[in-house]
Structure 1
Amino acid sequence: MTPTPKRTIVALAIAATLALAGCAPAAGGNAGNDSGGGETPTAGGTLTYGRLASASDLDLHTQITANNAFAIDKIFETLVSFDEHGKIIDWLADSHEISADGLTYTFTLRDGLKYSDGSDVKAADVKFSLERNLAKAGPLTLTAPIANIATDDAARTVVITLDEPYTPFLSELTSFASGVMPTDFGGKTEEDYLKAPIGTGPFAVSAWDPAGDLNYVKNEHYWQDGKPLLDGLDYVFVADDNQLLQRLNAGQIDAIEQVPAANAESVDGGSATTLLNSDSWAIEQIFFNTQKPEFADKNVRRAIAQTLDLPGIAKATTFGTARAASALIPPAIEYSAADAHDEKPVLAHDVAAAKQELAKSGYPDGFTATMLIPSGNSARAQIAQIVQESLAEIGITVEIESIDLASFRERFKAFDYDFMINSGQSDAPDPNGLVTFQADPEGFSNSYWTHYTNPEVTKLMHEGRTTPDGPEREKIYLEIQQILAGDVPYIPVYYSPNLHGTTAKVHGLESLPNGSVRFQDAWLDAK
């Protein structure tokens, strides 16, 4: 989630203690479900993974939505990544160093890295890939003030020099959009290459229907010894979450990307199923199109925020799996104001106060607005119904429009909506990612397609990008969250946990806080 060039995204601060130290080496993941109660993992087999949306595009430099991102990251890998706790770790880089002045980053590639076709990965490929990222200026473009990228293939080094210290840079490099591809697409045209791209990831594309399923085959040249254990991974497109669950319970697919919260307990307690429940960097939210006169009125937005019982909504729609939100940044990300706002809400649930707030607006007698939601998502449908009933108490009539996911995305990106339910998602473990994506009026998404702007937030956002990690940076992000909670360009409803489901024969999945899953350690019971 990012803005246009020269605007920061996600970041991890350049702490003084890390100035000359590389992060810990990557380890194979077994977070999530276990390795079979002490059983020896078995190699082979194809795991079928059910998803609510198909992968429609595999260009790592132009995509952002989860349907594509979590397909792309199985093919392309980055110099550095993060583990299931959000800690940054070396990945394709064997080590990295940051100069004392914070201007020079030196990455040393692992020895013997190869692409899935067996060709060698070169340091020059990293330069080509990062420069293509910059040239495409897509939704997750590199936004650090990069002055130069120098490479040495013999020494396996990539040296990136910045014009000035830039706190978020290392975390920015963990995004899938910073993945490595061969220089000049390995001799193919860009179009042909992206139909079946080769990368360093654990899997390579074997068949792909952009409107349907995506089939992967094991990368025989993967850099993690003996991995992946699977011979293949099939992404199966099923447009409805209840149908996904039915197919999981019937054993027709091995795992599903999203378990409906209403069914989490049954999946967790099922004799033939397992629930993977972990913290995430996602927030379910209500977004206002502030180009609409009614929602351009801050008093209207504040009145709506005070009308909604967010703990009640979270309990009713997530069945105890999610925590009600009180600030933009989730608790799993540093500098979240959630605990402070829980204790002292900026706008507490108070219908009487909401009516007074609406009376201050230009619409004291209420109005009619349409809430846009994607079909096939039972939780959002339920949230919409609760919002409809709640806002009727203050004279606002809500009409609910439910459309297919592809059309939903087209509509809100064209600002063709009044207000909507959608999720915000950080791509890496720094608070700046969400703040930039949701509050930068010059960014790629224009404040998450709300058209919200506040000069003070913009000023603080820039300060947060250059302030070293520590108390001063924390103060900046706490202030930003305070302002956003009062301006209400969107209402964070609850912090969404990662709820993945598997059959009992699946082991070794690693659930990441950005919502993705790593499969290189996954294995299936041989029986």
Structure 2
Amino acid sequence: MRRYRHLLLVGLVAALFAVWGCSDKSSTDAGSGNASSGTAGDTAGQAVATDLKYPLSQTIPTLDPHLSLGGSNATVVLNVFEGLFAFNSKYEPVPMLAESYELSADGKTYTFLLRKGVKFHNGKEMKAEDVAASLNRWKDKAARAKSSFGDSQFAVQDDYTVVLNLKNPQNDTLAQLSHVLNFAGIMPKEVIDSAAPEGVNAYIGTGPFKIVEWKKDQYVHVTKFEQYQSLKTAADGFSGKKEALVNNIYFTLATDNATRFSSFLSKDFPYVDVSLDNLPKVQNQPDVQILKNLTTDFNLVFNKKSPLFSNVKNRQAVAAVLDADQILLGIVSTPDLYRLNPSYMYKENSKFYSEAGKENYNQKNPDKAKQLLKDAGYNGQVVTLLTTKDTGNFYNATLMVKDQLEKIGVKTKIDIYDYATMLTKRADPNVWDIYVGPFTMPSTPSQLLYLNPTYGFADDAKLAELLKKSTSAIKPEEIKAANDALQQYQWEYLAAVKIGDTYSYSAVRKNLTGLTLFSGFPNLANTKLLK
């Protein structure tokens, strides 16, 4: 076996990920994973607040980390739960609850050695039975994990050792264990064993903060976990040292953009997302730092089980008419906050980036679209677009798509729900046709939700086989060839249509120090709020 220690990742895993990010002269970029508004060293001798309020722009349907789908969920969950691995600022998976791991010579067997003395929020020590139970549930609940791991099981070898035997080598194993959505959080075995189908009944993790109260539609109150066992390595992304420097955090629901911003202006919130219209109101304030974050890409996802979009020609018609520039401008209102990108991966992730099939991207060809609709036998059926107004990006993007479809004679209607209900509706193949939304950057193609049968219902044998090949490739040239083939076919099959990548502005009061943003999600360990 080859042995990998937690202070150094070598070989395959380190080769798979690249530094990504952007910057400009006026802002600190959070796209690379780190955006600090200060460091703890700046605060010596200054009074520190015990409580922090952090705004949530979306409702929270669940705090179960294995089921967490949205931004607000992840914002809370990532500060309460931890996994065996965590991403650093370069999207490299590094050990968190794992002390180290071993990978067999054939690349099929992972042996995870656990840290000793790690306590859950209920005081129980974390052991292998907890890890195996958590990860076996996670891989069955999370579409990304289920697609990658299939029937493979995490098994207990001894109290501090867990083994995963794979049927084939997989280049995405550690990345899957690190991803921030549908998070592979570790919980006590008894919590897993008593979980209901709709989620766990207790929220007990190992993170620097523990949940005290969840008052739905109002706030989630977390408090400092006094028995937290921190790593001593440097804090980086969501990896490394974590220390709760505030006693209480109130993750406060504020779905209305104007309300969130006015609360920031009144200093009720020390952090807020900033629209282009509101940017001039804060960018010259001496106590405010403006961050520019590479946050999400936008995709149009088809319901492949709907009567209309089970027909690939109808999907191709939509892809043909879409004007990506117009849609992205409708989302962010300025060319400074978007970029065109024909790849389903970010270009900074060079190992998996591919432009295969780019001739089908941003076609802006209404005549071709009309002919494809005619060939498909489209006869005025209504296309249902699923969206929410809880955050403006979903709704604005959907409006732009609706306008472009209607211009080629497609009848449309928009079904608008609160965020939590929209997620439920999205899982029902009988109630929608098209969904347009933002997606957190995947570190591997296997983490593209819409390539899985459970998300938009991409139940296609060739797609599944190409996805499998992209995860089992080991050598760089094999990875490139496999991902070129996958993306070329995706642009033909069209589980989804890539629209582009977006940035956002956020504002941080300079008395909030040590804040780290990772793909827009805050790591609130190591963060101080000065009085």
Smaller-chain TM-score bracket = 0.7 to 0.9
- Name the stretch that deviates more: 203-212 or 140-149: 140-149
2:43 aligns to what SS in structure 1?
coil
1:141: how far off? 4.9
2:29 is matched with none
CA, structure 1 residues 265+33, in 2 after alignment: closer, same or farther (shift >3 Å)?
Answer: farther
Q: Which amino acid in 2 is paired with 1:307?
A: V
CA, structure 1 residues 200+211, in 2 after alignment: closer, same or farther (shift >3 Å)?
Answer: same
CA distance in 2 between counterparts of 1:484 and 1:346 reads: 11
CA distance in 2 between counterparts of 1:189 and 1:499 reads: 42
1:360 aligns to what SS in structure 2?
helix
CA offsets per residue over residues 391-430 of structure 1, 9 Å max, x none? 333222333333322332232221201323223335x521
Contact 1:47 1:234 in 2 (8 A): yes
CA RMSD of aligned residues (A): 3.5
CA offsets per residue over residues 431-485 of structure 1, 9 Å max, x none? 2110xx31233xxx2xx22x34443222211222322142222222222222222
1:236: how far off? 0.3
1:40 aligned residue (39, 43, 66): 43
CA distance in 1 between counterparts of 2:396 and 2:349 reads: 27
CA, structure 1 residues 91+356, in 2 after alignment: closer, same or farther (shift >3 Å)?
Answer: same
1:313 aligned residue (307, 320, 327): 327
1:179: how far off? 2.2
CA distance in 2 between counterparts of 1:140 and 1:329 reads: 15
2:393 is matched with 379
1:265: how far off? 6.5
Contact 1:147 1:163 in 2 (8 A): no
Aligned: 1:474 with 2:490: no
CA offsets per residue over residues 49-105 of structure 1, 9 Å max, x none? 111233343333344334333322222211111112211111122322322222332
1:167: how far off? 2.9
Aligned: 1:362 with 2:367: no
2:206 aligns to what SS in structure 1?
coil
1:216: how far off? 0.5
1:6 is matched with none
CA distance in 2 between counterparts of 1:30 and 1:294 reads: 40
1:67 aligns to what SS in structure 2?
helix
Q: Which amino acid in 2 is paired with 1:362?
A: G
2:342 is matched with 326
1:32: how far off? 0.8
1:110: how far off? 3.3
CA, structure 1 residues 96+500, in 2 after alignment: closer, same or farther (shift >3 Å)?
Answer: farther
CA, structure 1 residues 482+165, in 2 after alignment: closer, same or farther (shift >3 Å)?
Answer: closer
CA offsets per residue over residues 352-408 of structure 1, 9 Å max, x none? 333343343312x75543323202333333333333333333222333333322332
CA offsets per residue over residues 15-64 of structure 1, 9 Å max, x none? 9824899x9xxxxx992133159613665522211112333433333443
1:286 is matched with 300
CA offsets per residue over residues 270-317 of structure 1, 9 Å max, x none? 44443333334x322222333333333333332332222212322342
2:184 is matched with 178
CA distance in 2 between counterparts of 1:386 and 1:130 reads: 40
CA offsets per residue over residues 500-523 of structure 1, 9 Å max, x none? 44333212222223x422111111
Gaps of 5+ in 2: 1-8, 18-31, 233-241
1:388 is matched with 402
CA distance in 1 between counterparts of 2:306 and 2:164 reads: 44
Identical amino acids, percent of aligned pairs: 23
Task: Give TM-score scaled by structure 2 length.
Answer: 0.80
CA distance in 1 between counterparts of 2:317 and 2:517 reads: 38
2:253 aligned residue (237, 240, 248): 237
1:117: how far off? 4.3
2:313 is matched with 299
CA, structure 1 residues 299+198, in 2 after alignment: closer, same or farther (shift >3 Å)?
Answer: closer
Task: Give TM-score scaled by structure 1 length.
Answer: 0.81
Contact 1:93 1:108 in 2 (8 A): yes
1:11 is matched with none
CA distance in 2 between counterparts of 1:322 and 1:367 reads: 33
1:249: how far off? 2.4
Aligned: 1:502 with 2:508: yes
- The number of equivalent residue pairs is 487
1:39 aligns to what SS in structure 2?
helix
Aligned: 1:409 with 2:420: no
Aligned: 1:433 with 2:433: no
